Amino acid sequence: MAKHSPVVGRYVTFEVDGCEYKVFYLQNGRGAPLVCQHTAGCHNHQWRGLLEDEEITRDYNVIAYDLARHGKSDPPLNKEWWKEEYRLTADHYVNFIVAFCDALELQDPIFMGSSFGGNVALQLALRKPDRFRAVIPVEAAAYAPGFFLDVWRHPHANAAQVCASGVWDLMAPQSPDRDRWLTWHYYTQGSEAFRGDLYFYSVDHDLRDSLAKIDARRCPVVMMTGTYDYLTPPDATEQTASGIPGGVYIEMEDIGHFPMSENYPVFRVYLKEALRIIREKTG
C-alpha cells in the first residue's frame, strides 16, 4: 500500500559571492527552524530520520538542504565551474548558509551540521552569532587535519567506491547494516565534491586560536561527538568545547561520524538533549 511521507522538497535560487545557485531542500515540521547540513561529499538524505521524526517536527521546522554541488543542488549556474578545481572555503561556506537562511526568511534558526557541517557551525558561531539562535556542531573540532587527500578522486580508482568505503569505518560497528549501507550508498554519489569539501574541513577551517572569541552566550554552542569517530575523536571535540566560553560537550556512546544517518534512534536521544539545553539557554 502506498504511503506518502510528510517531507516535501523544493528548490530555491539565490546568489552567493557572485555564484547563482539553485538549491534543493527537504522540509517538514513547524515551529523553530532547525537547519541541517549534511557531511562532506554527501547529501540531505542523511537527515531522513530526523525529517520524519514526529516528536521533533511537532516543535521544529526541520530543513535539510543540499549544499551546492551536492545531491540535487547544482554547481553555480552562471560559471564555467568545470574549468576550476573545486575547493570550498570557510568564507564561501558561511556566506552560502546565511544566504540560504535569508532566502527562506528564517527567523533565529538553529543550525546543525555534521563533520564539515559541524566545523562550519563553529564558523557561524564565531562570525554570525546574531543570525542564529544556536548551533549544534556534530562530529566537529577546532581543527581537523588529514583528510584532504588526492585519492578521493584519483582517476585510476573507482572514486565512488573509494569515497564510500573510505568513510565506512567512520561509522560504528554497532550501527545497523541497513543504515550503514544507505550511508555508503549516498557516499557513492558525491565523490567529485568530496575532496573539495575536505579542503575546507582539513585545511581552511582552523579555529584553534579563535575559540575564545566565540560568544556562546549570544549563540549557544552544543557540540556532540560519537565514540567511534576517529577523525574528530571525542577528546578533540571536548577540547574544542572547553575552549569556547560557555560551550557544551555531549559524548555519544556507540556511534560514529555520521550519527544522524548511521543510527538515528541513538542519535535522537542526544539531539533531544541538545535541543533541551538550547531551549533552556534561549527561552
Partner 1 sequence: MDIRDWAVRFSETSDADPAIGAMARYFTCTYLLDMGAAQVIVEMIDGKVYRMNIAPAPMDAYDFALRASPETWREFARAVPKPMYHGIWAASFRKDLRIEGDTLVLMQNLRNFTLQFELLRKVGVPV
**Residues 68 and 75 sit within 8 Å (Cβ to Cβ):** yes
Assess 259 for contact with partner 1 (CB under 8 A): no
- Determine what percent of the chain falls in helix, strand and coil, rounding each to the nearest 5: 40, 20, 40
Q: What is the dihedral of CA 115, 277, 102, 8, to 10 degrees?
A: 70
Position among 227, 245, 265, 276 found at the interface with partner 1 (CB under 8 A): 227
Q: How far is the CB of 261 from partner 1 (least distance, A)?
A: 17
Assess 162 for contact with partner 1 (CB under 8 A): yes
Taking CB under 8 A as the rule, which mask of x and - marks residues 174-213 in contact with partner 1?
x---------------------------------------
Assess 161 for contact with partner 1 (CB under 8 A): yes
In terms of Cα–Cα distance, which of 38, 34, 83, 61 is closest to 201?
A: 38
Assess 228 for contact with partner 1 (CB under 8 A): yes
In terms of Cα–Cα distance, which of 152, 116, 111, 132 is closest to 38?
A: 116
Assess 239 for contact with partner 1 (CB under 8 A): no
Contacts with 188 (C-beta within 8 Å, 6 or more apart), sequence order: 160, 161, 163, 164
Which part of the chain contacts partner 1 (CB under 8 A), choosing from 6-14, 27-35, 164-172, 209-217? 164-172
**Residues 251 and 225 sit within 8 Å (Cβ to Cβ):** yes
Q: Which residues, numbered 69-98, are part of the site for partner 1 (CB under 8 A)? A: none
CA neighbours closer than 13 Å in the CB half-sphere of residue 171: 28
Alpha helices by DSSP H, the chain? 48-51, 54-59, 90-103, 116-127, 159-166, 177-187, 191-199, 234-243, 259-262, 264-282
Which part of the chain contacts partner 1 (CB under 8 A), choosing from 57-65, 89-97, 161-169, 271-279? 161-169
Q: How far is the CB of 51 from partner 1 (least distance, A)?
A: 28
Q: Which is nearer to partner 1, 117 or 166 (CB)?
A: 166
Backbone φ, ψ for residue 202 (5° rounding): -105, -15
Q: Which is nearer to partner 1, 165 or 282 (CB)?
A: 165
Q: Which is nearer to partner 1, 146 or 245 (CB)?
A: 146
Assess 146 for contact with partner 1 (CB under 8 A): yes
User: Can you give the binding site for partner 1, defined by CB under 8 A?
Assistant: 146, 151, 154, 156-158, 161-162, 164-166, 168-170, 172-174, 227-228, 230-231, 233
